[in-house]
Chain A
């Protein structure tokens, strides 16, 4: 088996007395799409935030291309730019218009030349159906549009992996589709992706692998068909019964 793009070994994380992650092992191959499912509070979001080191982990290791990125004291700037993340609440910068949101990091971090960068950004807006919204401010955009801008903002850094933290959970139901379509497109382009999601239909349709989390551990994982049709563990069965009712 080729070396994994991203590997987690025995990752633990507590907030005070509350153990949120209790030993996570996971391997993500390049181009793979993994969906994390599970109830709220099962540790999905924390796991994503521990992968890009937004939350420092307590124990275990996170390896990116074999490099231990969870080593305390490591300069995280160069690592974070290789891992894009999109949050449930978009978190666009409200004082900048859409394209300024997208250009900020490539300009300041990658020091790219503005002209070429702008062309690349416009191509991204075009690709995700936002060409006419490029100069608009976040408060002039719908939730779905804002979330797509947030995806573009992350993609503009040319990340090697994308993390999505329940990015459709705050959207009105009619806007969920446009954001999932963006993910579908990325999937088609072979982006390595990790999603925490409540969209079971979507996970079933597109994921290479589904991981069911509960109580800070991965209880069961496998191909979507196996997990959704013939879950082996009682807790997985109970969870799926409750959400697929």
Chain B
């Protein structure tokens, strides 16, 4: 070990020691102070009941599979529609002007309305037209609401990706005789999509959480199931269980998205 390495190793040891001590102090303070709060025994009983936790966990985990399913079939639809909207917004030909306006309005509307509202309006409104079974299913219209909202976000992310590709790439392509269409398809889009993968990963993490909002219009997925248990057992612990189950999925997904972002940043700098 040379002199600099010895110095840096010492610095690292010192940093670890300081971080360890300060973390221990904060944890100790929480463990000592929180139970001193007057309402702590009640909160502990109604939110952190070990028996309720163990009793409801398996069923809630199963209910979570419904969230995962809705997520799984929404994602391809969102990506396809998002791409279509992004391309519509970039349409240049005068004949396609209505398409461009439609794209802009679409993005404004669905980014501007809270997801819950869209879910309520579509989830209760469309089946209200008196559609026959299975077409009045909240699964269908809940999915539609999510797809409409999230494709608007994905479209904006994709469009920013397309615009981030330098004009010289387009020039090089059309100077080789490629059409605008082939230029977009073979030169611009592949680069743009690669560039926005991390941003879209974050979008999908948010979607995974928002799937739970469909509980408001009917499907007995994890959030609704937790609500049922809450009423049944007169205990809030099922909500904590649901939160834990969500974290089991979203934390690794977020870390992975961050990892992609960092790699991307390092590759470009």
Interface residues, chain A, with chain B CB atoms under 8 Å away: 52, 54, 76-78, 80-81, 84-85, 87, 89, 91-95, 104-105, 108-109, 153-154, 157
Contact = CB atoms under 8 A, between A and B. Distances in A.
Given A95-B194, A104-B186, A153 B176 contact: yes
A157 B177 contact: yes
A93 B178 CA distance: 13
Given A95-B191, A104-B186, A80 B175 contact: yes
Interface string B158-180: 00000000001101111111110
Interface of B: 168-169, 171-179, 182, 186-187, 190-191, 194
6 contacts: A54-B175, A78-B177, A91-B169, A93-B172, A104-B176, A105-B178
A87 B168 contact: yes
A89 B168 contact: yes
A84 to B, nearest CB: 8
A27 B200 CA distance: 53
A104 B177 CA distance: 10
Contacts of A104: 176, 178, 186-187
A93 B191 CA distance: 9
B169 A81 contact: no
A198 B132 CA distance: 76
A108 B180 CA distance: 12
B187 A91 contact: no
Nearest to A79: B177
Nearest to B180: A77
A177 B229 CA distance: 78
A77 B174 CA distance: 8
Contacts of A77: 177-179
A80 B176 contact: yes
A80 B172 contact: no
Q: Max chain A CB contacts within 10 Å: which of B168, B177, B182?
A: B177
A94 B172 CA distance: 12
Q: Max chain B CB contacts within 10 Å: which of A91, A109, A157?
A: A91
A85 B169 contact: no
Nearest to B179: A77
Contact of A109 (B168, B172, B176, B191): B176
Nearest to A106: B176
Contacts of B168: 87, 89, 91
